[in-house]
Amino acid sequence: NAGVTQTPKFRVLKTGQSMTLLCAQDMNHEYMYWYRQDPGMGLRLIHYSVGEGTTAKGEVPDGYNVSRLKKQNFLLGLESAAPSQTSVYFCASSRLLMLQFFGPGTRLTVL
Amino acid sequence: KNEVEQSPQNLTAQEGEFITINCSYSVGISALHWLQQHPGGGIVSLFMLSSGKKKHGRLIATINIQEKHSSLHITASHPRDSAVYICAVYVGLQGAQKLVFGQGTRLTINP
């Protein structure tokens, strides 16, 4: 089992460019999450999904969109990247109220 | 004030010492998570608990629901335990629970 994988691992964007981060899990988990981690801020929830075809906003959703067309995949999109979105992005998955399994992270820099 | 507070923020100890990291929260929770973030950035879930105590190897986690407090203990600490330890609580309505994270405790174990 690969667990939770994220692509890409690193990316540099210019302001205004768009990109999509892909998260995939092979544990048949219902719940999937996107977090961002910034120095001194801890992990913050961007969006999450409680099942295929459903998504919901987290703590810091502005500037991001998500889709969960398949149970195993959760996509995070940035339509027009801004320097404030420079961060490390983590995806996680879990069953209801169970341990969350994290991906290795994507380091994004927006110039 | 953050909903989840950890102390201390930084902790340096010698190999073999008994380590305690504290977590206090101010909201009603469904469960509490302890996570470990390695120096390379990867995040591993250590425990999830909603009452009492759990033990895994040299790690022990306890929770007191009435006092809204949890502790993570490490016995016979080793330099490989050096990492950031993060407390997180599940909040929200059933089916929409989300994790709210503390700022983390950076632990350094010197040989």
- Residues of B at the A interface, defined by Cβ within 8 angstroms: 30-31, 33, 35, 41-45, 47-48, 86, 88, 90, 95-104
**What residues contact residue B74 under an 8 Å CB cut-off, 6+ apart?**
B18, B19, B58, B59, B60, B81, B107
Q: Which of B47, B98, B102 has its CB closest to that of A48? A: B98
Beta carbons of B72 and B34 less than 8 angstroms apart: yes
Q: Which of B42, B43, B95 has its CB closest to that of A50? A: B95
- What's the whole-number mean pLDDT along residues A55-67? 94
pLDDT score recorded for residue B95: 63
A83-98: string of b/e by CB count within 10 Å (b at 16+)? eebbbebbbbbbeeeb
Beta carbons of A69 and A51 less than 8 angstroms apart: no
- What's the whole-number mean pLDDT along residues A75-80? 96
Partner B contacted by A102 (CB < 8 A)? yes
Proportion of chain B above pLDDT 90, given as a percent: 77
H-run or E-run covering B5: strand B4-7
Q: Give the C-alpha separation, B95 to B80, whole Å.
A: 37
More reliable by pLDDT, A15 or B99:
A15
pLDDT in tens, B71-97: 999 999 999 999 999 999 988 766 667
pLDDT score recorded for residue B94: 66
Q: Considering chain B, what is the average pLDDT of its residues? A: 92
pLDDT in tens, B9-46: 999 999 999 999 999 999 878 789 999 999 888 999 99
pLDDT in tens, A7-46: 999 999 999 999 999 999 999 999 999 999 998 788 999 9
